[in-house]
Amino acid sequence: MRVLLINLSFFLFVLQLHGQNITSKPDTISLKKNYILAKNEFQLFEKEHGAFVQTGNILMHYLTWGNRSGTPLVWIHGSLTNAYECVQFAEKLAVEGYFVIAIDYYGHGQTPIPPHEVSLYHVADDIKVLMDTLLIKKAFIGGFSRGGYISTAFYDAYPNMVYGLVLEDGGSVAFNSYNHLLSPAEVEKKIQSIGLDQLPKTLFDSELEAYCSIYDMSETGTQFELLSWISKTTQGKWSVGNDLMLFFNMANINQYRDLIYNTTRASLFGESMALIEPKIIFRNLCVPVLILDPISEEDIFPFEKENSALQKKHPGFVKHILYENTAHNIHFSHPRKFASDLLDFLSLAKTH
């Protein structure tokens, strides 16, 4: 299944619709037919894989693959994506005997933003409720980008419920490590180049219009998983990630500055992201950790040295794998190698 890659880089916000000419006019009639078929496919997929759990914070949506008797892996998606990001490798893991659970955290997929303040640690609490509900005492916890930081927060809060961690370009090094190495002028130049005033439209009059706005014209088929990005607002509009940038405390230049220099002014969710310090959380590391680290000129988290230092500090626990010529999303750019590396790690970690 193709996956729409929507990466929120924390230094460069770009909506990447691979291969799509966003200025071209789509065939509206064909897209309407695809949309009708997509609705049916989406409902069937959700019937087989989707479910909800009520936590102390929110009604949280999640997907599952595989037999519940298998070794559990909880996957936490990155910013501006959702549980569907792991469809391809989840199916491969399920075939190998793993029970894969992928959540939608706040404001993503079918999980709304709670009415009260929440942090990454609140998501960790939600995952514990989910695991308790599914009668899972211990699991591998993994995530991409912001999901990696949530994975680290879960380990910090509930270490006895973790077999091991999978951190795909996130969660192994403090968020602002690179920013604080730059001069104020360099940080300001970076912030100004982000283009927060040019973010894509997120509100639409109909679900069809929202679907058409993110349909990849370079691909074919219904792309039914796109519907997982679309939700209805309380005002009756249809949204693709509405209010998420405000929730992240990244809706404008001043908010982004606060994330770097004045984190306690940020939203609690944004503040918690900026304040997580893996050096402290992993000081007494006692579970296997897989760090998947992309390297390129576009690398938004250039943390190779810090990740290498963490591996040297805990050589019996940390496995550090580099992916050359990769900007951020490894499982999208290198699906086969990612799945192979993940399976190798899980297999070895189970015997740890």
In the chain, the amino acid numbered 219 is: E
Please tell me the predicted confidence (pLDDT) of residue 191: 86
**Neighbour count for residue 154 (Cβ, 10 Å):** 28
In the chain, the amino acid numbered 226 is: L
> What does the alpha-carbon distance between residue 308 and residue 18 come to, in Å, rounded to a whole number?
31
Structure tokens, 118? 């929440």
> What does the alpha-carbon distance between residue 308 and residue 118 come to, in Å, rounded to a whole number?
32
Please tell me the predicted confidence (pLDDT) of residue 1: 35
> In which region does residue 174 sit, left (phi positive, over 0), alpha (psi from -120 to 50) or beta (all else)?
beta
Is the dihedral angle over the CA atoms 1, 136, 145, 341 positive or is it negative? negative
**DSSP 3-state of 251:** coil
In the chain, the amino acid numbered 283 is: R
Please tell me the predicted confidence (pLDDT) of residue 320: 98
| Residue 172 DSSP class | S
> What does the alpha-carbon distance between residue 197 and residue 251 come to, in Å, rounded to a whole number?
9
> What does the alpha-carbon distance between residue 77 and residue 108 come to, in Å, rounded to a whole number?
9
Please tell me the predicted confidence (pLDDT) of residue 22: 35
Which parts of the chain fold into alpha helices (H)? 28-49, 87-95, 120-133, 146-157, 184-194, 207-214, 244-248, 253-261, 268-275, 278-281, 304-313, 330-333, 335-349
Question: Could you tell me which CATH class the domain 28-174+203-228+277-345 is placed in?
Answer: alpha beta
Return the domain boundaries, the chain: 28-174+203-228+277-345
CA dihedral 319→325→331→332, nearest 10 degrees, is 180
What number of CA atoms fall less than 13 Å from residue 323's CA on the CB side?
Answer: 23
Q: Computed over its alpha carbons, how large is the radius of gyration of the chain?
A: 19
**Neighbour count for residue 287 (Cβ, 10 Å):** 19
DSSP bridge partners of 13: 8
Please tell me the predicted confidence (pLDDT) of residue 299: 87
> Which portions of the chain are predicted below pLDDT 50?
1-25
Please tell me the predicted confidence (pLDDT) of residue 199: 63
> What does the alpha-carbon distance between residue 166 and residue 183 come to, in Å, rounded to a whole number?
32
CA 9 to chain centre: 11
Q: Which helix (H) or strand (E) holds 75?
A: strand 71-76
Q: What DSSP string describes 98-148?
A: EEEEEE--TTBTTBPPPSS---HHHHHHHHHHHHHHTT-S-EEEEEETHHH
Structure tokens, 7? 């990466």
> What does the alpha-carbon distance between residue 149 and residue 77 come to, in Å, rounded to a whole number?
10
**Neighbour count for residue 11 (Cβ, 10 Å):** 17
Angstrom distances, CA of residue 134 to CA of 94, 101, 276 = 17, 10, 28
Please tell me the predicted confidence (pLDDT) of residue 18: 29
Please tell me the predicted confidence (pLDDT) of residue 74: 98
Closest CA to 120 of 289, 278, 320: 278
Tens of pLDDT, residue by residue over 13-30, are 333 332 233 334 456 778
Please tell me the predicted confidence (pLDDT) of residue 20: 33
Please tell me the predicted confidence (pLDDT) of residue 202: 80
**Neighbour count for residue 262 (Cβ, 10 Å):** 12
